Amino acid sequence: MSAANSNLSILVVDDEELVRDFLGEALTRRSYNVDLAADGKKAKTILKNEAFDLVLTDLKMPGVSGLDLLRFVKAHHPETQVIMMTAYGTIENAVEAMRLGAFDYITKPFTSGEIELIIDKALEHRRLVNENRFLRNELSNKYRFSSIIGQSKPMQEVFEIMKVVAPNHTTIMVEGESGTGKELVARAIHYNSLRRDKPFVKINCAALPEGLIESELFGHEKGAYTHAFTRTRGKFEQANGGTILFDEIGEMAPGLQAKLLRVLQEREFERIGGQETIQVDVRVIATTNRNLEEEVKKGRFRKDLYYRLNVISIHLPPLSRRREDIPLLTHHFLSRYCEEYNKGIEGISEEAINYLCRADWPGNVRELANRIERAVVLCRNERVEIGDMQMGGRSSSSMLDDYPPIPGTTLRNLEKWLILKTLNSQRSNRTRTAKLLDISIRTLRNKIKEYRDVDGEEVI
């Protein structure tokens, strides 16, 4: 405790010498770095030249009052915590101080234990605020537009749309095959918007549990149903002020589509078991790997919901349509995984790059990333060679060398081949198969049923 406190600084401001000395001695004993000021004017002079983690000030002082000093601190050092000391007769002023940004107040007289407890809480709050700010900055850096790699024309068009739509609150539909980076684009839009400091809440539409869907989205009141022991906020409330992502919206059950439409139209809902209408301010982004226009025609997706979501459409091209980006992506992933695995690999051979550029990528950018990660792990030389791409066990989405060499193979047959081969490699474990292929269990189940009903293919 003392070692940690030795890096923390506190300014004590009080016109009573006994109070200053008492606090100075008590806080120094706990290894804080303590400065003392006899009035608000002297404190302001000190604060012009030095920042403190915490200011502990009397509320009522001649000249510059505690409230005046509080305003000064918040204007010049907004991260500094302020605790007000007050007599019983000025508690109303202390409440005003709280409204102006003070962390807390304490009434005189108090013990050293009482003041130390409040100081500990204030400094812990400051630590958490700084930590959250750091994490937000890290996220903003991670999801800045430049973190999405691509110089090809299709990707440049995507970037232009993202830059235009990010600052406003427009609903966005991000379309593209699995592995093209739809969620990355959604997060980049959020962290480059005015909502960047508010929550980003993701909902996996394919994984919403039957029977708990409404509770998951809208929350519930205590006692709304069996085992509802407390009030719970749903995803919409959690995302209030920020962005909510409906990942793979095409997987959403028809019954829930109608409930979602009402929230998108009215921006309000009720918790399960509740009477209060809750209004929310959220930006909605949806992703899909399906052709939703076709789904609408087939009656599997609501037409009115589709048009509500498809205000701005961003289509991410498959990696096969942006092959000129493969070298850039390869070097990006190579650098990332060399750092992650502490490997001193200097580069990748031209033959290996050409191999990657010629390959088909049904798993798109995610598949390429997996292939490079494995190559980094397996590489024993100064640079990655073709052999490093082919060594060891291969994930189902990276079996490029095993594709059937049949000219004119249809996309459906290639998809069927990949699904059945992966299912076989995972000993018919559907959960692991769906995870490796980056599809939902429901999608896998539907595909297997299709192969059985249409092709007569018996699949366990």
Q: Which of 207, 209, 189 is nearest to 284 (CA)?
A: 189
Question: What mean pLDDT do residues 75-84 have?
Answer: 90
pLDDT tens-place string over residues 89-122 = 566 777 788 888 888 888 888 888 899 999 999 9
Within 10 A of 191 (CB to CB), how many other CB atoms are there?
22
| Rounded-to-integer distance, Cα 59 and Cα 70, Å | 9
Written as six digits, the tokens of 187 are 């997060």
Instruction: Report yes or no: 311 and 196 within 8 Å, Cβ to Cβ.
Output: no
Written as six digits, the tokens of 82 are 């302020």
Written as six digits, the tokens of 459 are 């699949």
Question: What mean pLDDT do residues 134-156 have?
Answer: 70
pLDDT tens-place string over residues 8-58 = 899 999 999 999 999 999 999 988 999 999 999 999 999 998 889 999 999
pLDDT tens-place string over residues 329-366 = 999 899 988 988 888 898 999 999 998 998 888 889 99
Q: Which of 357, 373, 264, 259 is nearest to 310 (CA)?
A: 264
pLDDT tens-place string over residues 202-236 = 988 877 766 677 788 888 888 777 777 787 888 88
What residues does 314 pair with on adjacent strands? Answer: 174
Q: What pLDDT does 294 receive?
A: 92
| Rounded-to-integer distance, Cα 350 and Cα 336, Å | 19
Instruction: Report yes or no: 86 and 108 within 8 Å, Cβ to Cβ.
Output: yes
Written as six digits, the tokens of 271 are 């918790």
- Going along the chain from its start, the domains and CATH numbers come out as 2-138 (3.40.50.2300), 150-315 (3.40.50.300), 319-402 (1.10.8.60), 411-454 (1.10.10.60)
Longest dimension (CA), the chain: 92
Preceding omega of 209 cis (within 30 degrees of 0): no
| Rounded-to-integer distance, Cα 57 and Cα 80, Å | 13
pLDDT at 195 over 70: yes
| Rounded-to-integer distance, Cα 243 and Cα 217, Å | 14
Q: Please state whether beta strands 243-247 and 283-288 pair in parallel, antiparallel, or not at all (unpaired).
A: parallel
pLDDT at 1 over 50: no
Which 3-state string (H, E, C) describes 140-181? HHHCCHHHCCCCCHHHHHHHHHHHHHCCCCCCEEEECCCCCC
Q: Give the pLDDT band of residue 379 (cuts 50, 70, 90).
A: confident
By three-state DSSP, how is residue 78 classified? Answer: coil
Angle between helix axes 326-340 and 350-358 (nearest 10 degrees) is: 120
| Rounded-to-integer distance, Cα 391 and Cα 6, Å | 53
Higher confidence at residue 283 or residue 271? 283
| Rounded-to-integer distance, Cα 43 and Cα 352, Å | 65
pLDDT at 409 over 80: no
Question: For the stretch 18-32, what's the b/e string if a residue is b when 16 or more beta carbons lie within 10 angstroms of its beta carbon?
Answer: ebbebbbebbeebeb
Q: What pLDDT does 319 receive?
A: 93
By three-state DSSP, how is residue 363 classified? Answer: coil
**H or E stretch covering 81:** strand 81-86
- Integer angstrom CA distances of residue 44 from 23, 65, 99: 19, 11, 21
Q: What is the mean pLDDT of the chain?
A: 83
pTM for the structure as a whole = 0.58
